[in-house]
Amino acid sequence: MRRAGRAHAALAAVAAASLWGTTGTAQALGPPGTDPVSVGAIRICIGALVLVVLAAAAGSRSRAGSARPVPVEPDRSRRAPVAVLLGLGGLAVAAYQACFFLGVERAGVAVGTVITLGLAPLATGALGLLLGERLGGRWSVATAGAVLGVVLLVVGTAGASPVEPIGVAAAVGAALSYAGYTVAARGLLLRGVPGMTAMAGLFSIGAVVLSPALTRADLSWLATGRGLAVALWLGVVATGVSYVLFQRGLAGLAAGTVATLSLAEPVTATLLGVLVLQERLSGLSAVGMALIVLALLLLAAPRRAARPLVP
């Protein structure tokens, strides 16, 4: 049962990352006039609303059906109050959006993406130590392989662009922000907070922090049918549904493991770019994508059960 639970959690984490990988293609298919800042803020606001509705519906039915993990040993997360975890995690949700878009803009798509996606699993694994999580050799090998795959994948698809120090710093901030809200969500689950409630709380705080950006943005693209469709996809599916799956992954796996499985995101984004946007896939990118898939399979594969001792 434990092996089946780990497999389901791993599948949920990969599915969540795959939905995140659709965001770039969705934005590319949107109407003219869209900009990353307004799209990111709209996405978080709609996603927060969806998560609040789902959390309310789940709470009205029964809290007994919420996914709750078996706490790791020792459970140091109980030292942090729920309000602190919610506040820090919500700020990290907002910071990730701002830092990632700034990093890609100032450091270039290749450098910004590699720094963010490469450091995120490592930062999450390190912060997971605060929860008492222990990540073994399999995680180390899979994470190293997946990060190398991300480097090959992104470098093989991106052209040269100027790199500014502030862009590098922002990309590092995005990686730390991702680690922050992932570990905060895991900590809330370890304290018995239902997963849907945790996600709704984190994204509601993030939406409040990002909402001032909407007052200065041009939102005329939302008045078009295509713009509304893009906003709903990003908010409802790529945020609301994806983070329902994400919390299920966190309910059964360590935060660092979920962060590594989330590297399925660039694989999905690349495949959609080739199939939908008619982009070319270089040999280097293909090797990187294959390396990521192999690393994720290694990490998601069930561990062999210990053989009973026979006297």
pLDDT of residue 277: 76
pLDDT of residue 280: 78
Instruction: Give me the chain's average pLDDT, please.
Output: 82
Cis omega (within 30 of 0) on the bond before 121?
A: no
pLDDT of residue 73: 42
> Is the pTM value of this prediction over 0.75?
yes
HEC-encoded secondary structure of 56-79: HHHHHHCHHHCCCCCCCCCCHHHH
pLDDT of residue 272: 85
Question: What's the token pair of residue 168?
Answer: 């590098």
Instruction: Summarize pLDDT for 11-35 with one digit per residue, the tens.
Output: 999 999 999 988 878 887 888 877 7
Instruction: Summarize pLDDT for 158-216 with one digit per residue, the tens.
Output: 655 566 788 888 889 999 999 999 999 999 999 999 999 999 999 999 999 988 888 88
Which range has the top average pLDDT, 76-80, 125-129, 171-175, 215-219? Answer: 171-175
pLDDT of residue 166: 86
**3-class secondary-structure state, position 1:** coil
Quote the CA–CA distance of 228 and 245 in Å, as a whole number.
24
**pLDDT tier for residue 66 given thresholds of 50, 70 and 90:** very low
pLDDT of residue 55: 92
pLDDT of residue 310: 43
